[in-house]
Amino acid sequence: MTIVYIGLGSNLASSAESPRQHVITAIESLDDIQSTRTAHISSLYKSKPLGPQDQGDYINAVVQIETELEPLELLDNLQAIENKHGRVRKEHWGARTLDLDILMYGEDIINNERLTIPHPEMLNRSFVLVPLAEINSDCAIPGKGLVRDLILNLDQDGLEVSNE
Ligand code: ROI
């Protein structure tokens, strides 16, 4: 059993669901993955887009799961959930209906064509580290340090809990 952290993000509605609804139903889908259970769910956060500004605000969250799946098996399951939510891969750093990222997989450091873990961008992203610290205040990123220390250096402009 491995403890894994998943980052979720959405800023695009589909015909069926708002960004908030995409994140909520994705969290439900995580618990349906084989040999996997959900342990902790952060609040939903509203965040300003990182990258191109001609896109809407994001809803972000982080979930801690426990899984028996190998990293690439887990990735396959996450991509199936993204596809179910109508995820279309087009513009790099553009709007998306649903993004599911494996942030950390236990203490593992993984570098292959499909996965870089710990997620290379998470250190710079308050919309990842703040929800992560909410569900594990002692969380350490392999090779990088404590999440609560890393947060001190980050701009948290426009990040707010949004449970409306
Ligand atoms: N910006 C925010 N605020 N939240 C995200 O989840 C997010 N995801 C992305 C890019 C386009 C980099 N910007 C984001 O992939």
Give residue 89's pLDDT: 64
Q: What tens digit of pLDDT does each residue of 78-113 get?
A: 999 999 887 766 677 777 889 999 999 999 999 999
Annotation marks residue 32 as catalytic? no
Q: State the CB neighbour count (10 A cutoff) for residue 132.
A: 28
Q: Please indicate whether residue 96 is annotated as part of the active site.
A: yes
Domain 2-161 belongs to what topology?
A: Alpha-Beta Plaits (3.30.70)
**Residue 38, C-beta contacts closer than 8 angstroms, at least 6 positions apart:** 27, 30, 31, 63, 64, 65
Characterise 68 by phi-psi region: left (phi > 0), alpha (psi -120 to 50), beta (else). alpha
Our answer to whether residue 125 is catalytic in this structure is no
Q: 101 CA distance to ligand 1 centroid (A)?
A: 11
What does the alpha-carbon distance between residue 19 and residue 81 come to, in Å, rounded to a whole number?
Answer: 15
**pLDDT tens-digit readout, 52-74:** 999 999 999 999 999 999 999 99
- Does pLDDT of 24 surpass 90? yes
The CB of 127 under 6 Å from ligand 1? The reply is yes
- Of 128, 30, 37, give the one whose Cα is nearest residue 85: 30
Instruction: Tell me the whole-structure pTM to 2 decimals.
Output: 0.95
Position in ligand 1 atom list of the atom nearest CA 60: 6
